[in-house]
Amino acid sequence: MWTENKKDRLRLKGHQRHLFLYQRSLLICKKIPKSSSYEFRNRLSLSEVGLTEALKGSGSSKKFEIWVNGRQKVFLLQAETPELKELWVREIKKLLLEQLESLRATKAQTIGACGVGASSLSSMMNISSSKKQITAAMTRRQKMTSTKGITLNGWRPSNIGHR
């Protein structure tokens, strides 16, 4: 595995790492020599991960990329065989598609539960922004009234008593 950050470009020396793919995460671990244990190195949430399966260059039939946050950090991975690469890519794509479908279903349920169609969604957003403006105005008014000596209409009460 090779890593690349926006700050420091491609790390030239590869590291042997073991990946553990779960439904929502990908764990990157280092095998402890002369042991059956692994040392945790990194966890990637699949909700933040992108995948590039077709790469150019030498050994590209066994390589693929996993990237995070719009390619802020890129992990260049090389499988032992092209078949193993295809298996990893297929499983990662399957999990990413399942997450996408789940998000779409959740969004559709939320919109459907409100009884809102796509056309009335924009009017709801306008109402929402109006509520924000009203809340901001009320907050400004509250600040103004909490200032010593100022009333709602901006006049200061006189200290002179009525006789």
pLDDT tens sequence across 66-115 = 999 888 888 888 888 999 999 999 999 999 999 888 888 888 887 776 65
Give the pLDDT band of residue 20 (cuts 50, 70, 90).
very high
Average pLDDT over residues 30-36: 91
| Residue 120 scores a pLDDT above 90 | no
Does 148 or 30 have the greater pLDDT score? 30
- The confidence band for 10, taking pLDDT boundaries of 50, 70 and 90, is low
Laid out side by side, the sheet with 49-52 consists of 2-5, 73-78, 63-68, 49-52
Residue of 2, 90, 97, 111 whose CA lies nearest to 47: 97
- Residue 156 pLDDT > 50, yes or no? no
Q: Which helix (H) or strand (E) holds 78?
A: strand 73-78
pLDDT number for residue 140: 56
Give the other-Cβ count within 10 Å of 61's Cβ. Answer: 14
pTM of the model: 0.59
CATH number of 2-113: 2.30.29.30
pLDDT score of 84: 93
Domain ranges of the chain: 2-113
- Could you tell me how far CA 58 lies from the centroid of its own chain? 32
